[in-house]
Amino acid sequence: MAERALVLDFGGVISRTLFETHDLTEAALGLASGSLNWRGPFEPQTDPLWRAMQADEISERDYWRQRTQEVAALVGCDWSDMSDFVRAARGASPADVIRPEFLAAIDKAEAAGCRLAILSNELDLFYGADFRKKLPFLRRFDAVIDATYTKILKPDPRAYQGVLDALGLPAEACVFVDDQLRNIRGAEAVGMIPVHFDVQSPAQGYATALRLLGL
């Protein structure tokens, strides 16, 4: 069988989203239960900022910049960027929010000889470079392409070409998984096999990706 690769966004594909872990964030930051009420894709009707991001009126970075400022004000901190927020909320044990479905999927893909890669718009920007040291599974990936450094954001075709070049594989050999539709459309445009990941149904998303890899 020809060589294949599973290419993943980081964010909500690999880890539980900040929307799903408000209780953990509130506990870590000493906030009262219910202090954080923005729910993004889980309750878009109550999150106009999320709807604006989905409509491409603001970027994903803009969304999280505002949420970071809001939470910083609640806890009385002067956070300069998203990574300050994430380190405060998750820094002690980031492995606790990694999706078990992700770990099972990369085990199966790796056992079948598939390559593994991450293509992220803001891995270190959002999480901080030291975050990676606490996630040993990252050592199993053949390529980690992060626009924090490349400055080329999905859905720019060059972002996808960067991970294809790093893997040395054609687009049609790569299954690409992302939770943002604009990024899925970008992958499809360059010939990758797309899986639009629903953060509310992670098991289904990974099952689809593995099926498309022939597993």
User: pLDDT tens digits, residue range 162-190?
Assistant: 999 999 999 999 999 999 999 999 999 99
Residue 104: how many other CB atoms lie within 10 Å: 13
Delineate the domains of the chain, giving CATH numbers in brackets. 5-16+98-212 (3.40.50.1000), 22-93 (no CATH)
- What is the C-alpha separation between 169 and 180, in angstroms, rounded? 23
> Tens digit of pLDDT for each residue in 24-37?
999 999 999 999 99
- Are 3 and 117 within 8 A, CB to CB? no
- Tell me, what's the pLDDT at 132? 77
- Tell me, what's the pLDDT at 123? 82
> Stretch 4-23: mean pLDDT, rounded?
94
CA distances from 37 to 155, 171, 179 (A): 29, 40, 21
> Stretch 139-164: mean pLDDT, rounded?
96
- Tell me, what's the pLDDT at 1? 59
- Tell me, what's the pLDDT at 90? 79
Strand-pairing partners, residue 120, are 146
> Tens digit of pLDDT for each residue in 70-111?
999 999 999 988 888 988 887 667 788 899 999 999 999 999
- Tell me, what's the pLDDT at 96? 82
> Stretch 132-137: mean pLDDT, rounded?
84
- pLDDT(2) > 80: no
- Tell me, what's the pLDDT at 94? 76
Average pLDDT, the chain: 93
